[in-house]
Structure 1
Amino acid sequence: MPALRRLTAVASAVAVSVTVPVLTSAPATADPCSVTTAAPSARSADPGLTMPKFPILHLPIGRKPAPKTTPEQAAQSDAAVAPETQARAAAAPAAETARIVDTIAGPASDSYQRFGISGADLGIMWDNGGSGSNRQVLVAFGDTFGNCSLPDQEWRKNTLFRTADQNLADGMAIPNPRPGDRYGGSPVTAERPNFSRQVIASLKLAATEVTVIPTAGISVGTRQYVNFMSVSQWGAPGQWSTNFSAVAVSDDNGETWTVPTTSIRPSWFNTVPGVPFVWGDQNFQMGAYLRHNGYVYAYGTGAGRGGMPFLSRVSETAVADKSAYEYYTPFGWLRGFPFLAIQVVWAPGSEMSVAWNEHLGKFVMLYTNTVSNVVMRTADKPEGPWSSAKTVVTSAAFPGGIYAPYIHPWSTGEDLYFTLSRWSDYSTMLMHTTLG
């Protein structure tokens, strides 16, 4: 069994798919690839030798939260539901201000020495559906960098960690990786056993594609599903465009992935040859998964950070079949009509996560709002009505550009753990808050 090493904990200072920039206090000098010392796994003849940096070829500038241009108070009064609906928002949930527990990936962790990851964002987490010693949480990252002294910065579109750590109070332990071990800390190759390899490849369907980024993950049994987006272009901070979204499927705990063509959702007309665009699919380019009562609920937003969340659901047996999805509409749940779907939260809420919380007896939603604060809402049903928003992390307390809060699937009690990305050091952190 691979040895476990505790990742280093750090302290810190304390819709329509119209693209609208997120507002935050991120510094303009943020650099997502700053490590120029070769790790043991790096392609360098002299590990430990500091080399000059090359220009970053795959800078995901759209992931950077946009500079703040409106008063922060503007986000404090987010309406939870559309004003014309009869449902009224409940009071905001009680929760303490969150704190950093650990850094999972980035310069303040040992991810570079152990996995060849000097920086990575997102950290989308879900239970793999295993039992006994095979039960794990899988953690999917977006654009990943390694040795920044090399011309390509050892860039990967996405990577994956695995962990069985149930005591998150002192951080999240990741097992050492081992080639061919589907329960090791990360998929690696025999040639580079300490270098997390890319797991979801490009389908090469679009004329222009800059990266392939996971946006949600879920398991049904021990089959893994990851919703991902094909990014066609990075725009200004907080903005990007997509070619399509799709669902990747794995039956070996994330070692290998396939993408059924039945899962592809083009973002517009003629973006994917041979796959027709259906109006409404542009609102499901990014997602959040939730399993409940035999369904997988899939929240959706458009590309970028300006979209309000829509909602669909599908039988657990048909997650990769787009034609099987039902959409939450003014007329109830309707199959095959994404253009009738309505927003379930009347506020921008991309890069979100949703989970059931036993302590509250409610569904919990996390996302960053228009001023890059992490906010929480609760509801009795997946479709809502969702409560007013409660701020649990402010961009003022965590400067550097924070985004993408993803709930840990095993934190169902009063201790809520979630990952959070920060642009300035291109890190993924483990956060904790206590629910009232």
Structure 2
Amino acid sequence: MRFRSILAVVTTASVTLSVAATIGVSAPASAAPCGNRGIFGSSLAFGSSLGGLLGRRSDQKPLPRVPTGNTRTVGWVTGALSQNHTDTRFGISGTDLGISWDNGSGQTLMAFGDTYGDCNAPGQQWRHNTILRTSDTTPGDGVGIPSGVPGNVRSGASVSSSTPRRASESVPSPGIPGVAITTIPTAGIAINGIQFMNYMSVRSWGDAGRWVTNYSAVAVSRDNGQTWTTAQSTVRPNLISPSAGAKVVDDSNGKFQQSAYLTGRDGFIYQYGTPNGRFGAAFVTRFRPADILDLKKYEYFTGDKARPWSPDQTRSKAIVREPVGEMSVAWNAYLGRYLMLAGNNGNGSLALRTATAPEGPWSAPTTLLNSRQLSGVYAPYIYAGSPKGGQYLYFTASRWQDYNVMMLRTDLTRIPVR
């Protein structure tokens, strides 16, 4: 049944503070950066005197190997044990995600989630998100990231002259548990040399794979990811708020709290969406590149053969049934299909689906990794700098136990085309 909710339009720096009195402190998540076992996602470790007592580094271990199946690990992208030594070069000892996209001028940008540096520093050098840049198109031997240079928007990271070995935060958050604890990237795309990054404002963490968002929105960068500004026209609120004068927004905004972008072969850009957490279904909307900041011009897939696309987002129908975790979508020339990677939090697997059209129908999932082969792995993102047309699909994924990002490779000759 359709219903309407009173929701407050929120900004990046000040997020729905009026609801703070009614919300409890967030529950812990599962990762353990800097040895923060059991309190990651709460306010206890951040900015408190306990930071230096919780460990000197991330819990990263040597790269795990996968001896069987269609997928192999290639190398760590982040962490002290990566070829990039991001702990000393970028102040990144622990992070996740690694969402990548082509910046349109020969580089791949990679966006990461909550990031930790020196575990003994005040607040453990927590940043809500960071971005690294690379020109590496041979991920088969790992991904190399050049050093950050202050003021250089093509260097490996946005860094300041005062902290040249610490990647800067991209999109801020108040960092208040139960109000707006962090800001997490979910997708990125370049249009005419301008970078667009979809992100979610997380209100509170719950049990593993569950969280609540305030809203999703698009941040814009005109300097290759060096600085970002949220486009207020793209905010999709996801909170009920009793605030006077709040804007009325349809509840189906919740279908697009996390995203993936695809440049279609038909001139449209497709945005795939899921609700907050890893247990919802997947939906899709499309728009012309020039209209990315105008939600009124988006069209939503309805599943109706007579009228498959509609400007009414309440008519949006699922294209993949739940549970769908973080996802990425891309055209693959080798298979001649669109590919969708996503996690299944129900069984701890990463899976691949194929389709001949961006909206599907999507095939049944083919497992790339199961929890027996490699446990705690999530967020598979197709690497945008991959060679075109080869038999190997390269993608990044994160692992809870290490709280870092790795590169993996799938042999597409072992993937059934459906």
TM-score greater than 0.5 by the shorter chain: yes
Secondary structure, aligned partner of 1:119: coil
Match of 2:297 in 1: 324
Specify whether residues 182 and 267 from structure 1 end up closer, same or farther in structure 2 by C-alpha distance, changes over 3 A only: same
Structure 1 residue 357 and structure 2 residue 332: aligned?
yes
Secondary structure, aligned partner of 2:118: coil
Deviation sequence 1:55-94 (CA, Å, 0-9, x none) = 99xx9xxxxxxxxxxxxxxxxxxxxxxxxxxxxxxxxxxx
Matches within 5 A, 1:20-59: 30-34=31-35, 52-54=52-54
Match of 1:420 in 2: 397
Specify whether residues 287 and 30 from structure 1 end up closer, same or farther in structure 2 by C-alpha distance, changes over 3 A only: closer
User: 2:92, 2:108 → 1: CA distance?
Assistant: 19
Deviation sequence 1:254-313 (CA, Å, 0-9, x none) = 001111110000013338975432231111000110011221101100001101101111
User: 2:221, 2:174 → 1: CA distance?
Assistant: 16
Match of 2:416 in 1: none
Specify whether residues 196 and 137 from structure 1 end up closer, same or farther in structure 2 by C-alpha distance, changes over 3 A only: same
User: 1:294, 1:206 → 2: CA distance?
Assistant: 41
Paired-residue identity, %? 42
Of 81, 96, 99, the match for 1:108: 81
Deviation sequence 1:183-205 (CA, Å, 0-9, x none) = 10011001011100101123899
Match of 1:301 in 2: 274
User: 1:327, 1:337 → 2: CA distance?
Assistant: 7
- Whether the 8 Å CA contact 2:199–2:218 is kept in 1: the answer is yes
| Root-mean-square deviation over aligned CA pairs | 2.6
Matches within 5 A, 1:245-284: 245-270=216-241, 274-284=246-256
Secondary structure, aligned partner of 1:367: strand
- Whether the 8 Å CA contact 1:179–1:193 is kept in 2: the answer is yes
User: 1:226, 1:271 → 2: CA distance?
Assistant: 29
Question: Could you state the TM-score of these two structures normalised by the residue count of structure 2?
Answer: 0.80
User: 1:326, 1:156 → 2: CA distance?
Assistant: 35
Structure 1 residue 178 and structure 2 residue 149: aligned?
yes
- Whether the 8 Å CA contact 1:54–1:150 is kept in 2: the answer is no
Question: Could you state the TM-score of these two structures normalised by the residue count of structure 1?
Answer: 0.76
Of 80, 97, 102, the match for 2:70: 97
- Whether the 8 Å CA contact 1:101–1:430 is kept in 2: the answer is yes
User: 1:297, 1:372 → 2: CA distance?
Assistant: 27
Specify whether residues 339 and 271 from structure 1 end up closer, same or farther in structure 2 by C-alpha distance, changes over 3 A only: farther
User: 1:388, 1:347 → 2: CA distance?
Assistant: 12
Structure 2 residue identity aligned to 1:298 = Q
Match of 2:191 in 1: 220
Specify whether residues 328 and 30 from structure 1 end up closer, same or farther in structure 2 by C-alpha distance, changes over 3 A only: closer
- Whether the 8 Å CA contact 1:264–1:322 is kept in 2: the answer is no
Structure 1 residue 383 and structure 2 residue 396: aligned?
no
- Whether the 8 Å CA contact 2:129–2:183 is kept in 1: the answer is yes
Match of 1:434 in 2: 411
Structure 1 residue 402 and structure 2 residue 373: aligned?
no
- Whether the 8 Å CA contact 2:349–2:369 is kept in 1: the answer is yes
The CA deviation at 1:150 is 2.5
Where does structure 2 lack aligned partners over 5 or more consecutive residues? 3-28, 37-50, 59-67, 414-418
- Whether the 8 Å CA contact 1:100–1:429 is kept in 2: the answer is yes
Specify whether residues 206 and 429 from structure 1 end up closer, same or farther in structure 2 by C-alpha distance, changes over 3 A only: closer
Structure 2 residue identity aligned to 1:304 = G
Structure 1 residue 286 and structure 2 residue 262: aligned?
no
- Whether the 8 Å CA contact 1:128–1:224 is kept in 2: the answer is yes
Secondary structure, aligned partner of 1:120: coil
Aligned length: 353
Secondary structure, aligned partner of 2:162: coil
Secondary structure, aligned partner of 1:214: strand
Structure 2 residue identity aligned to 1:31 = A
Match of 2:318 in 1: 343
Secondary structure, aligned partner of 1:378: strand
User: 1:220, 1:31 → 2: CA distance?
Assistant: 36
User: 2:122, 2:176 → 1: CA distance?
Assistant: 26
Structure 2 residue identity aligned to 1:53 = L
Secondary structure, aligned partner of 2:87: helix
User: 2:30, 2:255 → 1: CA distance?
Assistant: 32
Where does structure 1 lack aligned partners over 5 or more consecutive residues? 1-15, 17-27, 36-50, 60-94
Match of 1:238 in 2: 209
Specify whether residues 341 and 127 from structure 1 end up closer, same or farther in structure 2 by C-alpha distance, changes over 3 A only: same
- Whether the 8 Å CA contact 1:145–1:156 is kept in 2: the answer is yes
- Whether the 8 Å CA contact 1:96–1:434 is kept in 2: the answer is no
User: 1:55, 1:304 → 2: CA distance?
Assistant: 29
Structure 1 residue 200 and structure 2 residue 201: aligned?
no
The CA deviation at 1:335 is 4.1
User: Structure with the greater relative contact order (CA < 8 A, sep ≥ 6): 1 or 2?
Assistant: 1
Structure 1 residue 372 and structure 2 residue 345: aligned?
no
Match of 1:73 in 2: none
Structure 2 residue identity aligned to 1:358 = A
Specify whether residues 393 and 162 from structure 1 end up closer, same or farther in structure 2 by C-alpha distance, changes over 3 A only: same
The CA deviation at 1:206 is 11
- Whether the 8 Å CA contact 2:204–2:211 is kept in 1: the answer is yes
